[in-house]
Structure 1
Amino acid sequence: MNDGVDEAGWDVEPGDEIEPVVQAVGRLLRVCREAAGMSVSELAEALGYGEDMIRKIERGARIPRPELLDRADQLLKAQGHLRAFMEDMRKARYPKKVRELAELEGRAVEMLLYGSHNIHGLLQTPEYARTLFEMTQPALSEDVMERETAARMARKAVFECEPTPTLSFVQEQVTLERPYGGKMVLRRQLEHLLEVAQLRNVTLQVMPTDREEHAGTQGLIQVLKFADGTAIGRSDGAFNGRPVSHPKDLRILELRYGMIRAQALTPRESQAFIERTLGRL
């Protein structure tokens, strides 16, 4: 039997709006368990988790993995009542800030994304993302790294949205050359970039290091535009790094991004650059 530290789920963040839903799932699990005539220890043993972990889930202090609800539904003959919350728990297990970002990205019809330090999260492979979290200081626990990596990968659902959003990426050359995690991790990452660049709704460009003029000296830029004509943007070097939505502020970010795109390699040149970089590995 494992202790459930990584496998059973994650603790609810204090004040998170998903807390009432997690508590409701916990109460439902307890009701189903009692209706089945099982004790906490019996359910814990049957599921392969620690008794304390099951108690935390029933108290609403722990977010259960969807897989746990699936197994519990079958074991307790809950007739799909526990399974009905699987998707809610799948979303709830991601950090609040990631859920909020994923919600915005899911509504966007156009995204302008400039990355100056790392490859953008929407473009990352699981291995690359995991490596970034492994290098975080202070060091993250295994549980947190797993949670953050899974959350980042879940955001990539934007590539499957209908209608598909228009995505424009500009990446600094150095982000394609720094071998985080080793050459094999970088190789797979570059191969993934070439795959994504083939999508009709994606434009991927590379900003060469040797450019004498560069409009991106103030760092990361992100602009998300929505179907109702509104937008939200952020840049490390503008507006104190805070998200902005006023048209005047957004025009500044779009102007900078437009200049960055003009100064970068064309999409075709960028693809050739990635292929050459891949060939040197």
Structure 2
Amino acid sequence: MDEAVDEAGWDVEPGDEIEPVVQAVGRLVKICREAAGLRASELGETMGYGEDMVRKIERGVRIPRPEFLERADRLLNAQGHLRAFMEDMRRARYPQKVRRLAEMESRAAEMLLYSNHNIHGLLQTPEYAKALFETSLPALPPDQVERETAARMARKSIFERHPAPVLSFVQEQVTLERPIGGKMVLRRQLERLLEVGQLRHVSLQVMPTDREDHAGMLGLIEVLKFTDGTAIGRSDGAFNGRPVSNPRDLRVLEMRYGMIRAQALTPRESLAFVEHALGRL
């Protein structure tokens, strides 16, 4: 029963802008339950969840899974009113910071992405992402690992956008060699890099460890450019790590990124490097 309770949904982050919607859905669940003449314990037992979890959903402190709403709609004869919120709750399950990032990525016409500690989130496989979150200290609870992993995988829809954005990735060599999650997880991750690297709108480059000159020593760089001519960027080693959007600051990030690309292996050389790394596993 404890596992079923954990599967009912996700906690609402304090101050999350989605909180009023979650609360409205919770009130609707309660109204439909009472109209059906069921107690919270009875609804929970019928659906395989605990009474406490049902009451948390009704109070708006727990985000119900879309599957919960679909089943509850049938059981309570809600005539589609609960199912109507399934997509809202599907989006709500992702952390607020991830929703905002995904929204910006959905508007980007071009993205410049340099990663130095791990494979960039947009390139990660589910197994690699899960293993990466499991390295966190203090340790994340299992449901948060699941939530964060699902959110990261949802962002990969950017590869299916039309028109497709131009995506430039530069990965440090060490990120292709560190076996996060074990060698089999790394093998599948490298195979994924080879798949993505073949896409016409994607440039994937590797920065070799033996480079004497390296413009990326101050940490990761991310720049998102939008169709209206605006952009936003951030870097661990610039502007105190805060996002910047004014042209002067963006020029600094683009200058560093341009130099990193020039110092890295070419896209063709980089794919050959990934293939070689895969062959060593």
Pairs within 5 Å for 1:153-172:
153-172=153-172
The one-letter amino acid of 2:157's match is A
The answer for the alignment partner of 1:121 in structure 2 is: 121
The TM-score, its normalising length taken from structure 1, stands at 0.98
> Is 1:4–1:53's contact at 8 Å kept on the other side of the alignment?
no
Identity of counterpart residues, as a percentage?
79
**Residues of 2 paired with 1:6 and 1:206: CA distance?**
40
**Residues of 2 paired with 1:3 and 1:271: CA distance?**
42
* Greater mean deviation of Cα atoms: 4-13 or 228-237: 4-13
SS in 2 for 1:174: helix
The answer for the alignment partner of 1:151 in structure 2 is: 151
Report the Cα offset of residue 5 of structure 1: 4.2
**Residues of 2 paired with 1:101 and 1:6: CA distance?**
26
SS in 2 for 1:185: helix
The answer for the alignment partner of 1:69 in structure 2 is: 69
The answer for the alignment partner of 1:142 in structure 2 is: 142
Pairs within 5 Å for 1:227-266:
227-266=227-266
> Is 1:203–1:267's contact at 8 Å kept on the other side of the alignment?
yes
> Is 1:5–1:143's contact at 8 Å kept on the other side of the alignment?
no
**Residues of 2 paired with 1:230 and 1:204: CA distance?**
24
Q: Provide the aligned length of Structure 1 versus Structure 2.
A: 281
The one-letter amino acid of 2:250's match is L
**Residues of 2 paired with 1:48 and 1:3: CA distance?**
10
> CA, structure 1 residues 3+204, in 2 after alignment: closer, same or farther (shift >3 Å)?
closer
The answer for the alignment partner of 1:277 in structure 2 is: 277
Report the Cα offset of residue 6 of structure 1: 2.4
The answer for the alignment partner of 1:181 in structure 2 is: 181
**Residues of 2 paired with 1:223 and 1:216: CA distance?**
14
* Greater mean deviation of Cα atoms: 50-59 or 91-100: 91-100
**Residues of 1 paired with 2:78 and 2:108: CA distance?**
38
The one-letter amino acid of 1:196's match is V
Report the Cα offset of residue 50 of structure 1: 0.3
**Residues of 2 paired with 1:5 and 1:143: CA distance?**
11
Pairs within 5 Å for 1:191-202:
191-202=191-202
Deviation per CA, 1:94-142, whole angstroms, max 9, x where unpaired? 1111111111111111100000111000000111111111111111111
The TM-score, its normalising length taken from structure 2, stands at 0.98
Unaligned 5+ segments in structure 2 are none
**Residues of 2 paired with 1:62 and 1:210: CA distance?**
49
The one-letter amino acid of 1:263's match is Q
The one-letter amino acid of 1:157's match is S
The answer to whether structure 1 residue 224 and structure 2 residue 224 are counterparts is: yes
**Residues of 1 paired with 2:211 and 2:72: CA distance?**
58
The one-letter amino acid of 1:267's match is P
**Residues of 2 paired with 1:2 and 1:117: CA distance?**
36
Unaligned 5+ segments in structure 1 are none
The answer to whether structure 1 residue 78 and structure 2 residue 98 are counterparts is: no
Pairs within 5 Å for 1:86-101:
86-101=86-101
* Greater mean deviation of Cα atoms: 54-63 or 35-44: 35-44
The answer to whether structure 1 residue 107 and structure 2 residue 103 are counterparts is: no
SS in 2 for 1:194: helix
Report the Cα offset of residue 3 of structure 1: 5.7
SS in 1 for 2:78: coil
SS in 2 for 1:77: coil
SS in 1 for 2:171: strand
Runs of 4+ in 1 over 2 A off after TM superposition: 1-6
SS in 1 for 2:6: coil
Report the Cα offset of residue 42 of structure 1: 1.3
The answer for the alignment partner of 1:11 in structure 2 is: 11
Please tell me the root mean square deviation across aligned C-alpha atoms, in Å.
Answer: 1.0
> Is 2:121–2:129's contact at 8 Å kept on the other side of the alignment?
yes
